[in-house]
Amino acid sequence: MAHDAEVIAYASADMLLPMKPALRRLLLIAALLASAALAWLPQLDAMASERVDAGLKRALITFASARTLNAVISTLQETTLSFQPLGIGVTLAPGQALDPINDLVEQFSTLMLAASVSFGVQKVLISVGGNAWVSAALTLTALGVSGLLWRGRALPRFASAVLIGLLVLRFTVPLTILGSDLAFKQLLAEDYRSSQQGITNTASELGRQAASASQAGAAAAHESTLDRLKHAATLPDVRAYAERMQLAADRAVSDLIRLIVSFLMQTLVFPLLLMWLMLSLAKQAMLAAANRPSPPAIQRR
């Protein structure tokens, strides 16, 4: 009895094992047919295009803020404080200490311009992938591969490569854009908003300081001799002025770094990770369909 039960168990296993590759093939056929149908739907491209427009708008706003901050810092660097303690003329330019920060702002502006170009390229790739010829080629290839799978034939490498290439061309860009935008909203949106607001506030604060210093210099140029003698022994609070500038600049550096991280993650890191993941899944699916393992032989005593 035990021997007969063992033989029956082996026979049952032998009958079930061939169903697994067949099930995988059926699932792959269903996925290919669904992909062929989805290739003709414009909603996916429309959603991805909308997300690209939102990202481009963020990049341009940040670029404009960075250029404004750069102009304000340049004005502060050219602003001088002149005073005459005990009749001795002294001129200071505390804004020159902001030169390294101004270099960082200029480089950040270049990065924001590159991010804007990246969003523009994504827009073009959406249009290319959504072309009717691409959808038609994908549909015909998917139907041909599905026919081979239905007959249980092995897939030629050329057919697998063409199918994966068309799937990548049609779906990778919009899906990558939507996935990157979702990751940005969940992980980086709050940092972006606070850092963007911080850059705007810093530019406004430094602009007020530059305007105040310019007004003070203009008023001093029109002072009478008596007024100059009255202020001869008065020293302006240069240290406090420089400290205010430095604090605002330090906040700007922190905000700039966070903005750099946000845009690099959205335009480079997230897309590359998602693209690698989708390519890996597509290759694994093709390999699973092409390689059909033979069932193990029944061992009999």
Tens-place pLDDT, residues 178-206: 999 999 999 999 999 999 999 888 888 88
**Is 87 a domain residue?**
yes
- Of 10-14, 72-76, 253-257, where does mean pLDDT reach its minimum? 10-14
Confidence grade of residue 12 (pLDDT, cut at 50, 70, 90): very low
d(CA 175, CA 260): 23
**Is 21 a domain residue?**
yes
**Is 298 a domain residue?**
no
**Is 108 a domain residue?**
yes
**Is 296 a domain residue?**
no
SS3 track for the chain: CHHHHHHHHHHHHHHHCCHHHHHHHHHHHHHHHHHHHHCCCCHHHHHHHHHHHHHHHHHHHHHHHHHHHHHHHHHHHHCCEEECHHHCCEEECHHHHHHHHHHHHHHHHHHHHHHHHHHHHHHHHHHHHCCHHHHHHHHHHHHHHHHHHHCCCCCCHHHHHHHHHHHHHHHHHHHHHHHHHHHHHHHCHHHHHHHHHHHHHHHHHHHHHHHHHHHHHHHHHCCCHHHHHHCCCCCCCHHHHHHHHHHHHHHHHHHHHHHHHHHHHHHHHHHHHHHHHHHHHHHHHHHHHHCCCCCCCCCCC
The pLDDT of residue 30: 87
The pLDDT of residue 251: 86
Residue with tokens 């995988």: 24
Q: Which one has a higher pLDDT value, 76 or 238?
A: 76
**Is 269 a domain residue?**
yes
User: Token digits for 209?
Assistant: 């300081």
Confidence grade of residue 293 (pLDDT, cut at 50, 70, 90): very low
**Is 297 a domain residue?**
no
Q: Return the closest-CA partner of residue 138 out of 39, 272, 280.
A: 39
User: Which positions ≥6 away from 169 have C-beta within 8 Å?
Assistant: 128, 129, 134, 138
The answer to whether residue 299 scores a pLDDT higher than 70 is no
**Is 295 a domain residue?**
no
β partners of residue 82: 91
Range of the domain at 139: 2-290
The pLDDT of residue 237: 53
- Of 39-43, 73-77, 156-160, 221-225, where does mean pLDDT reach its minimum? 221-225
* Domains contained in the chain, number: 1
Share above pLDDT 70 across residues of the chain, in percent, rounded to a whole number:
70
Confidence grade of residue 291 (pLDDT, cut at 50, 70, 90): low
